[in-house]
Chains A and B, each alone.
Chain A
């Protein structure tokens, strides 16, 4: 545990805080990663900054072309949001796969990104939704594509003390789905997951984004596979070819949770299942553009 937790009431107060001794500040959002890591003896920082009650980091709102999701939004708030249901089908379908109901009441979407775990469900889905992430340091803001935010397992492009303030996700007409293979049906860390977002024009795929988790050091954008689908009819044959292709794009490892060869194989199986489910239901469920 740290020696001290500071609790600024607003972002303005946060930027007035002095630098933490011996490294970057640790921000306490939902605490599901930070406190569990600290309880397990894996966090040596002396000072945490509690951002869990900062209003500017909360809420989901809509602009003409996008949704803005505050970094402090809890996973359970995403599931209750009409805007998310309406516009972000891949993210919506990832929520039941995320941890347990009580952890969903605590975990934030900003913490999910900052932790930069290769198996994170929320950000894998957000990458397929083509999200950008807003960062702020000392009042200075910058925006980058979420897929470029991760630089390795548990590594991000965040600068010292930089804060994730929000995600900006475009409103676009698409169908989406998220599938996760874990050790049991619910509440387990993934062996492999896939998020698919498809813009359809009748039978044809106008554009596709496919992101996989747990099969590469960072959330993997399967660009080759997405390009293959672009312009093609969405049918079972093409889904099978896409599944074969995605197996050449992943770079899984063997660890305590699964084996590399199995993960590679299951990446294809999950993608094929995801595409088939869009064939069956997706055209009807494509969100309004």
Chain B
């Protein structure tokens, strides 16, 4: 084995450099740290939820380089050099609540709230890509998010209302 190979083999820790909610972050982490552990345990950002750990429920959604991803299925090492936005990082233009955060409250699209961060992130990703999304587009865009309380109708009206605000 060459000297170089040895170095690669034994590097159990790595130095993660990325942006979290607009701020530069540098951390030494175990290479096997998952993204959701990094977010909840290392950064203490508890808005992102873990429901299933299998990609089914969408409670763990965050934005990486502007795209919604399931943080339960990503490893922290895959965030190297990228930009992470969690629910805590979504803000309105005035620095207050984001339009989706407001309309989810106004429309009563939140009951127990466990699914809400994921639904808001999915809705934000959807509206960034397709600001004129129809009700059908919104339903399709939220297929990866489960909510056991609201029945989804109020979620869809909250997204419709946010479209008009932004």
Contact = CB atoms under 8 A, between A and B. Distances in A.
A94 B115 CA distance: 28
A62 interface: no
B5 A39 contact: no
B89 interface: no
Interface in A16-39: 16-18, 28, 30-32, 35-36, 39
Interface of B is mostly: mixed
A1 B5 contact: no
Contact of A6 (B2, B31, B126, B144): B31
Nearest to B70: A102
A100 B78 CA distance: 20
Interface string A89-131: 0000000100111110110000000000000000000000000
A100 B12 contact: no
Interface residues of B, number: 37
Contacts of A162: none
Interface residues of A, number: 35
A30 B75 CA distance: 10
A106 B80 contact: no
Given A31-B73, A35-B34, A105 B68 contact: yes
B135 interface: no
A288 interface: no
Interface stretch (B20-28, B51-59, B92-100, B104-112): B51-59
A102 B125 contact: yes
Nearest to A96: B140
A28 B35 CA distance: 14
B41 interface: no
A102 B78 contact: no
Contacts of A102: 58, 61, 67-70, 122, 125, 144
Contact of A39 (B32, B53, B81, B145): B53
B32 A100 contact: no
B134 interface: no
A13 B53 CA distance: 31
10 contacts: A7-B80, A13-B8, A28-B75, A35-B72, A35-B73, A39-B53, A40-B53, A100-B55, A100-B58, A101-B143
Given A103-B70, A106-B70, 19 more contacts: A2-B32, A6-B11, A18-B1, A18-B8, A32-B55, A35-B34, A35-B72, A35-B73, A39-B72, A50-B77, A50-B78, A53-B78, A76-B67, A100-B55, A101-B143, A102-B61, A102-B144, A106-B74, A186-B140
Interface of A: 1-8, 13, 16-18, 28, 30-32, 35-36, 39-40, 48, 50, 52-53, 76, 96, 99-103, 105-106, 186-187
The 3 nearest A-B residue pairs measured at CB: A100-B144, A5-B31, A39-B53
Interface of B: 1-2, 4-5, 8-9, 11-12, 14, 31-32, 34, 53-55, 58, 61, 67-70, 72-75, 77-78, 80-81, 122, 125-126, 140-141, 143-145
